[in-house]
Structures are given as C-alpha cells and as structure tokens.
Structure 1
Amino acid sequence: MKKGWRAGLAALAVMATGVVPDGAQADNPIIQTRFTADPAPLVHDGVVYLYTGHDEDDAEGFWMLDWRLYSSTDMVNWTDRGSPASLKTFPWARQDNDAWAPQVIARDGKFYLYAPISVAGDPKTAIAVAVADRPEGPFRDVLGKPLIAARRGAIDPTVAIDDDGQAYLYWGNPDLWYVRLNRDMTSYAGEITKVAKPIDYQEGPWFYKRGPHYYMAYASSCCPEGIGYAMSDRATGPWVHKGPIMDPNAASTGNHPGIIDYKGHSYLFGFHYELNFALTPIHHERRSVTLREFRYNPDGTIPRLPWWTDEGVAQIATLDPYRWVEAETIAWTSRIGRDRDRPYRWAPGVTTTSGADGRVHVTRIADRSYIKIGGVDFGRGAASFAASVARVRGRPTITLHLDRVDGPQIGTLALTGGDGPDWGTQTTAVTGANGVHDLFLVFHGDGGGLFDFDRWQFRRQ
C-alpha cells in the first residue's frame, strides 16, 4: 500500500463517524492545571468556550477571585484562554472573595457575562453583568452597579434567548427566580418572579431550549448534590420534574450542570473533587470540571447517567500539528498520577500563567512532568518539531512520545540558551510521526521551573 494509507483511513473514519479512531478520549477532570468549578459552556462560531469558576490552590472553603476560560474544537484538547474577568471587573463589589458561578451568552455581536458576587458591605449577593467584544474578553462593567440588586439567594445566574428574541435570566438558591431581560441584555422589564421549583431543586440552574422543549437542569438535593432536571413547554414554566440526570455521590458535596449540543453530540458538564483528593485526603472546596456525552431519549427526556468516571468523551476531530499550537492546549497533564502513567505517575504537573505581554503559557515545568495532546494527525509524516520557549534554566529536554507517556519516541529537543524572558524558537528532527496518535511532551531536567513554554509546531517532510 502507498505511504500514509493509515492516515487516509483515519481521516475517512473521522469524516464518516465524527469520532477520532483508536479510542482517543478525554480524561476527567478535563482541566488539571488549576481548580475549576461551575462550568458554563458556550458554543460560538464552531468553538466551545468553557467559562468556569476558579477555586484558589490553597482554598479551604469557597475562595474565588476570578473566572477562567478554556476552549476546544474536539472536546478532548482544551486551550487555556486565561482570565476574561475577575472581581476587579466590578470595583463596587467585595474584592477578597465570591467570584461565583458565571454564564456567558452572545447577542448582536457582543458577549454578556452574568455572575453572582457580594456587594461591599452587604451580606447578601447580587448579580452583575459585564460586556465584551470577543468571547475571550476582557469583560467590562457597563452599569457600575448590580443588574439584580443584592437579595437572598441571588446566585447562579443562567440565561437563554427564546426563539422570539426574548431573553430570560433565571437564578436562585434555594428558590428559583426569573426576569425578562431587555434587548440590551443589561437591563430588565417587568417584575422579578418566583416560580414553583422542582421538588429536588437546590441551586445551580441551567436553562435552555432544545427543539420544542424548555429545560431546567440544576444541582439537586443538597448535600451531597446530584443533578436533576425539569421540562416545560414555556420559557417561564410551569416546570415539570423529570427525575435525576445523575445521582448524588458522597465524593462530591456540590454540583453544577452545563449542557450543550455541539457538532451533533450532546454534552453534560459538571464537577468533582478528584484533583483535590489526588493532592490531599482532606476535603477542601477545590473542584474540577468534568464532562460526559449523552443522547436524549426520543421524547426529549434525558437519560439517567452514571457518576463521573476517569474516562470522559470521545474525540470528535483531530488536531493539526502543522500549525502553531498553543502549549496550553492540553488533554491531560501529570498533576494527577494514574497507573497508566508509569513511570511518571507521581511526577508534578505543569500549570499555566499569563505573562506581562498577555500571552497565556505553560510554566512551573518540572522534571518528568508532561503534557498529553489527544488525536494528533501527522498525516504522511513530520520531519521536525519546533517549540517557542523562554527562561531556559540548565539543559532541559522535551522528549516526544506517541500514544503513551513511555510510548515510541519520535524525537528529543535539547533546549539551550539563558533564562531571559524573550521567546525564542528551537527545533529538532523527528522520525516515525505519521498517522493519528496521542502526543506526549515529556520534560526532563534538574529541579523545577525548567523553562516557560508558549507554543509548538511540527513541520512536514
């Protein structure tokens, strides 16, 4: 057969099924570089933008100062987009905590972020709105005050636009409230209305329409919390309880659903605490976003799903390595050790940060840490690998492996240079990179903080 036939078959399989062959899968949690919570996915222009809360690394209770953003086009590799908004976005708000569950929606070329935060000097929470020109932000406060004034239970806003153009904002713990938003999405008309909530409703509502049905998913029956849902034939209810999507589990005191359709697939986002328990046996409010695919029943109801497992969802598109790929595009890192990662299962993981130039990049790279990128399509073969790096300390290396952390080695890039802050590109030859494979970038060197890593690219033969 001609050279590259496996790559050709792989491409045909993706076109026919929408799934990358050879079992390319997401792992749960889908973000390992920091603690994330309260997922709020948005599909826009063919990209899934995942807005999350952010639990601080040393949080014991809830300690949240900003919101984070990740994006994907294949549901396995997630690119860190940094922090599109923080408490500083709202100078009138409490600044030392309470950047709670957000949601973002697009309308008329703008993006609107709704978030519950505490008003300085008031024990109750309010709902704020900020606006951006791009999904990546930065978001800006346009009101200088809350959209929904501080009141009991004003947390966890969720927003959707009906087919007639009317937007609705729901929120609440332990009760469920809504208001009709005006076209500007930063003001509302009419009264704030309390609705009869589903019998197991607790908090974290996720409101959306699909076909003729309106859905209200939510965190149920605290504590621990599962995920329940209700349906209606109107945006304002009444809401008919349909049962659990996911039963409560003692491993996770809380939950918060986010549900989307993307490229013919339906996905449920939530969170668990595995990353916290990988680092300590003590329960802290340090959560990690999770993902599961599901299929609606013929009548529009949602099936009962098992608890989050290590195995996530199938990859629905391959990654092109012949364009520059952000180093913070990650399917998995070594921060959570698993048996399949031997001999690197106990290696520390990398993390990400934003530099003075605004670039998000990988940092805190330690010996034997690694990054996995799922479903990379090398086609007929790559000849070289290039990496943009800075602050190189000593003589670290990036070793390239296929399919496993200790899988076939296709090349090693020995980094040189000083520890200056300027980005520079270094290259090495590679052999044996063809077809579709998971790619592991394994880092070696003396100690921690080996270098900073901005992006990488393969080049063709």
Structure 2
Amino acid sequence: MMLALTCSWPAAGQTAPGAPAGSNPIIRDKFTADPAPLVVGDRLYLYVGHDEAQRDEMFNMREWLVYSTTDMQHWTDHGPILKVADFKWAKKDAWAAQATFKNGKYWFYAAVEHDDTHPGKAIAVAVSDSPTGPSIDAKGSALITNQMTPKGTHSWEDIDPTIFTDDDGTSWIAWGNRQCYIARLKPNMIEIDGPITEITPPHFEEGPWLHKRGALYYLTYASLDRSTHRDEKISYATAPSIRGPWTPRGELTGSGRYSFTIHPGIAAFKGKSYLFLHNAALTIGDLNGAIGRRAVTVEHLIYTPEGLMKPVVQTDAGVSVPPSR
C-alpha cells in the first residue's frame, strides 16, 4: 500500500510554499515517469510518460510530454509530443521513451503495446523537425517486435529503448525487461543493422540508459534482486567499448520513495552532470502517489577520478542545493 501524503503542489514551473526552485519533484501538476533528458544547445529537454491512473488502476499511459529548462531550476511545459494513437498499429501503453538528434531530425523511440498482428510490447520510432514536436510515425510499423527476441521469457520484454550515437556516428539502441538487448541502427534510424545481442547485466530488470564519458561507456539500469528486494534500484556497468565487455559496478541509488519502479536518465548540461529518476511521493488533489502515479525527480551526479559514478542519495532538495562531493 502506498503511503498517503498530506501536501499538494502547484503547477510545474512554480514551487510549493517554502520549497526552493529545483527541488523535487520537478513536475508537480501531473504525474510523470520514465524521464529521458536531451541537451540541445543551451536548453535541456525532458521527455516523460504521463501517468493518468485513477484509484485502483495499475497503469494508464496514453501520451508522452516534454518539458525544458535553461537553468535546471525552472521548467517550461511544452505539452504532449506524441500519443499512442499516433502509431496506428499500436493499441495502448505510452511506456518509456527517449529522444535523440541525428541527420537534422529529432528521433523519438518509445515502448508501446502492439496490436494483435504482433502480440506483445514493441518499440516505435517517430520523427520531428523540432525537439518539442509535432512528431509523426517515422516507419509506419514497429522497429522492434516481441517476435524479434524469441529467447525472451515474457511478452513485455521489448520495452524501454535507449539510444546512443558513438563518436564514429554509429547509433545503437538498447532495450529490455529482465533481458537486456542491444543492436546497431542503420543510418536511416528506422531499421536494425545486424544482429540483436543480449548484454544482460546482474539483476537487470528494465530501463537501460547508455551514455559515454571520456573513453568509458556506461550502461545504467533499473535493477532488482528478486531474492532480497521488492522494489527496483538503479545499478550500472561500464565497458571500454559499446560492444563490451561490461563490468558490473553495483548500485547507484536505492529505491524510489513509495515506488516499485525506477528509471534512470543521465545528462551532462552546462558543465554539470545529472541523474533523473522517478518516485511515487507526489499527491495531486485527492490522488496519492502509486505504481501508476509517479513523479520525476533529478539529482546531481558526480564521477570519481577513475570515471565511476558516486552513489546518489535521493532527496527532496534535488538540484536546489549545490552537489555534495
């Protein structure tokens, strides 16, 4: 059972009474989840799923929203960038997504439920001339379907895409639930180029995020040791190449408050690094946080001289205070 909170919050872009700008959660007028940042010039765009679950619903997600900031303190609401209904072959579930820029376009990769022609979860790709949309289905069909990963154990393994473009211009997509997959993308960004490879790290549950810093590659993900825990944490692995080998580095964070799920998104912005997550510690009106009513947060991210990420403590203050080194 989720704990009830007694506070309520004003709209995004404002702060709660007594709460400084930059404190958590960063969006307070809607329930949001699965944050995915994208830096474009001097602005950071944040793509999130919109949790609309009522009362006893588990998940009700029909669209993706986009926000932006220039200072990590104040956020502009740009509204929906895309809805599940924009993919005519998909029938529900606007699950985790990530956007990237390449070839002069903004590409948006998202997890949805495919219609009955390809049962199970699938990954869609949309395209836009702007980071805030409007976006359209770039392919007219799924990029990845459940039938493309036949060794998986369940029908919802093909979720949570992360997109990474390496220094040589090659783009990669990783995704998965309980199994973590990676594949190269063709330059057109709407086709897989070569085999799909499994790279599942220890206790991988879902929500992979790829990024690179210096010569080191990072695979950050929602982890769950089912023998000892009931809620996801964030763990990560590193590698000298996008092809591995991946070395597990352990837990980066604990669980999100009142939330079974958690989802990492990482960005370097104006000389600092940030880790985006979600919890379920927001109340809006008479709706408390829950598995289908989550709230996006952000924390400072610090690296050691060796390139490892220091453990992150989730706070209410968020980035309203300087990072603790």
TM range (shorter): 0.7 to 0.9
1:279 Cα offset (Å): 4.0
For 1:28-427, what aligned pairs fall within 5 Å after superposition? 28-56=24-52, 58=54, 60-94=57-91, 97-121=92-116, 122-151=118-147, 152=155, 153-195=157-199, 197-221=200-224, 223-248=230-255, 251-276=258-283, 279-280=286-287, 283-306=290-313, 308-314=314-320
Mark the CA change 1:109 to 1:284 in structure 2 (over 3 Å): closer, same or farther. same
- Indicate if the aligned counterparts of 2:143 and 2:191 stay in contact, CA closer than 8 A: yes
Which TM-score applies when normalising by structure 2? 0.85
Structure 2 letter corresponding to 1:312: G
Cα distance between partner residues in 2 of 1:90 and 1:159: 19
Larger strand fraction of residues: 1
Over 3 Å counting, the alpha-carbon distance change for 1:76 and 1:250 in structure 2 is: closer
Question: What amino acid maps onto 1:89 in structure 2?
Answer: D
Alignment CA distance shift 1:311-1:282 (3 Å)? closer
Please give the alpha-carbon distance, in whole angstroms, between the structure 2 residues aligned to 1:292 and 1:266. Answer: 9
Contact 1:182 1:188 in 2 (8 A): yes
For residues 214 and 21 of structure 2, what CA distance do their matches in structure 1 show? 29
| Equivalent-residue separation in structure 2 for 1:58 and 1:292 (angstroms) | 28
**CA shift for structure 1 position 277:** 8.3
Q: Which has the larger radius of gyration?
A: 1
Q: What SS class does the counterpart of residue 27 from structure 1 fall into?
A: coil
**Whole-Å separation in 2 of the counterparts to 1:32 and 1:314:** 15
In the TM superposition, what is the alpha-carbon distance from 1:192 to its structure 2 partner?
Answer: 1.1
Name the structure 1 match of 2:12.
none
Cα RMSD for the two superposed structures: 1.9
**Alpha-carbon offset, residue 136 of structure 1:** 0.7
CA distance in 1 between partners of 2:253 and 2:284 (Å): 21
Number of residue pairs aligned between Structure 1 and Structure 2: 290
How many angstroms does 1:278 deviate by?
A: 7.7
> Matched residue of 2:282: which SS?
helix
Alpha-carbon distance in 1 for matches of 2:31, 2:24: 13
Give, as a single letter, the amino acid of the residue that structure 2 aligns with 1:107: K
Q: Are the aligned partners of 1:24 and 1:315 in contact in 2 as well (CA < 8 Å)? A: no
In the TM superposition, residue 287 of structure 1 has moved relative to its aligned partner by: 0.4
Write out the 4+ residue segments of structure 1 that deviate beyond 3 Å after TM superposition. Answer: 276-284
CA distance in 1, matches of 2:109, 2:77: 20
Work out whether residues 31 and 295 of structure 2, in 8 Å CA contact, stay in contact via their aligned partners in 1: yes
1:169 partner SS? strand
Instruction: Call closer, same or farther: CA 1:64–1:245 in 2, change over 3 Å.
Output: same
Deviates more, 1:119-128 or 1:291-300: 119-128
Q: Which SS does the other structure have where 1:256 is aligned?
A: coil
Contact residue 29 and residue 284 of structure 2 kept, 8 A: no
State whether residues 75 and 315 of structure 1, in contact with CA within 8 Å, keep that contact through their aligned partners in structure 2. no
Q: Percent identity at matched positions? A: 42
CA contact 2:98–2:110 (8 Å) conserved in 1? yes
CA deviation digits over 1:224-266, x for unaligned, max 9?
1111100000102221100111023562211000001100111
Gaps of 5+ in 2: 1-18, 148-154
8 Å CA contact 1:169, 1:179 repeated in 2? yes
What does the per-residue CA deviation read over 1:318-376, in whole Å, with 9 as the maximum and x for residues that have no partner?
xxxxxxxxxxxxxxxxxxxxxxxxxxxxxxxxxxxxxxxxxxxxxxxxxxxxxxxxxxx
Q: Secondary structure at the match of 2:311?
A: coil
The change in CA–CA distance for 1:251 and 1:277 in structure 2 (over 3 A counts) is: farther
Q: Is the 8 A contact 1:25 1:314 kept in 2?
A: yes
The CA deviation at 1:150 is 2.9
Answer yes or no: is the 8 Å Cα contact 1:87–1:93 preserved in 2: yes
Counterpart code for 2:99: V
- What is the TM-score of this pair, normalised by structure 1? 0.60
Other structure's SS at 2:71 match = coil
